[in-house]
Amino acid sequence: MRVGTLKKTPLLRKTTPTATLYLTVQTPKGNAIVSVRGFAAIRAAEKPKREKKPEEPVPLLVTPQWLQEHLKFGRVKVIDASWALGENMHSQYATKRIPTSMYFDIDQVADVTTTDLPHMLPKPIPYEKEMEALGLTHKEHVVLYDRSGEYVASARAWWTMFTFGHKKLSVLEGGLPAWIKANGQVETGPPPPRRERVTYKAGRYKSRLNREWVADLRLIYQLQDGKGQIVDARSPGRFNGTEPEPRPDVRHVAFRAQ
């Protein structure tokens, strides 16, 4: 008796037996009769494939009204990225913030091990752990805001996350002042705790550093030689050296095109 294999058929299900076949099989102790029950296999009705709904384009800037609407359905995660020199912005975040928002601390989300320079781009693994502590995954739509409404801190946080491959990022237009003006709800009292990193499964947040968005010192020197343009975003007084540098032990350096 030849034994073969059944060809795999998708979406098969068994019905009641359709026939019973009796066979005589020779064994060491003599002949034996065995029965083989047959089943009819039918193909289940194939469901039509659903067309994937095109994803909503991610806007660079969102209005307070847009954010209010999307927060109702839990479609976005909100991050307070406020920072100001010489101020404790974390305590201000604890005093007043957009509901459900977590705090992005640029002093912590930075390279604090290989350099003593402030706010340098973090290494990938520490960065991923910080994002996990904020309860984020790389697939979520994140809206960043700051307390000044001038986009300096929120734009820097946007750049950091975008450089590490997070695509769904927006900045709240006008920041917290615009949110309050639009009658957005404000949360006070102790903020929600950060999630303990040790409880996270390894690799929950995935990042991919795009080095094309980062300028190293060699590139800066090349641009200084006339191969590109450098833009200084500091105030005119700091750029021209007519105002004192607010950071301690930081000397004035200005690159000028030849």
7-30 tens-digit pLDDT: 444 444 445 555 565 666 666 666
Higher-scoring residue by pLDDT: 258, 246: 246
Q: Above 90 in pLDDT, residue 243?
A: no
- Give pLDDT, residue 2: 47
Residues forming beta bridges with residue 95, ordered by sequence position = none
Q: Mean per-residue pLDDT for 56-62?
A: 90
DSSP 1-17: -----PPP-TTEEEEEE
Q: Report yes or no: 73 and 52 within 8 Å, Cβ to Cβ.
A: no
In this structure, how many other beta carbons lie within 10 angstroms of the beta carbon of residue 245?
14
Q: Read off the tokens for 229.
A: 């343009």
* pLDDT tens-digit readout, 120-157: 999 999 999 999 889 898 889 999 999 998 888 999 99
Domain 61-213 has CATH 1.10.10.10: no
User: 3-class SS at 78?
Assistant: strand
Higher-scoring residue by pLDDT: 231, 173: 173
Q: Report yes or no: 64 and 182 within 8 Å, Cβ to Cβ.
A: yes
Q: Read off the tokens for 193.
A: 């705790």
- Give pLDDT, residue 34: 58
In this structure, how many other beta carbons lie within 10 angstroms of the beta carbon of residue 16?
7
- Give pLDDT, residue 170: 97
Where do the structural domains in the chain lie, given as residue ranges? Answer: 61-213, 215-258
Q: Mean per-residue pLDDT for 3-9?
A: 45
Alpha-helix residue ranges (DSSP H) falling in 36-163: 64-72, 89-95, 124-133, 152-163
| DSSP code of residue 223 | I
Distance CA 168, CA 164 (A): 12
CA 130-133-139 angle, to 5 degrees, is 80
Q: Mean per-residue pLDDT for 54-66?
A: 89
Q: Mean per-residue pLDDT for 173-184?
A: 96
- Give pLDDT, residue 3: 45
Q: Read off the tokens for 165.
A: 């491959």
Q: Read off the tokens for 128.
A: 């991923």
- Give pLDDT, residue 195: 65
Q: Read off the tokens for 25.
A: 């099989």
Measured distance between the N- and C-terminal CA atoms of the chain, rounded to whole angstroms: 91
Q: Mean per-residue pLDDT for 218-236?
A: 84
Q: Above 90 in pLDDT, residue 51?
A: no
In this structure, how many other beta carbons lie within 10 angstroms of the beta carbon of residue 168?
16
Specify the range with the lowest mean pLDDT, choosing from 101-105, 106-110, 196-200: 196-200
Residues making up the chain, counted from first to last:
258
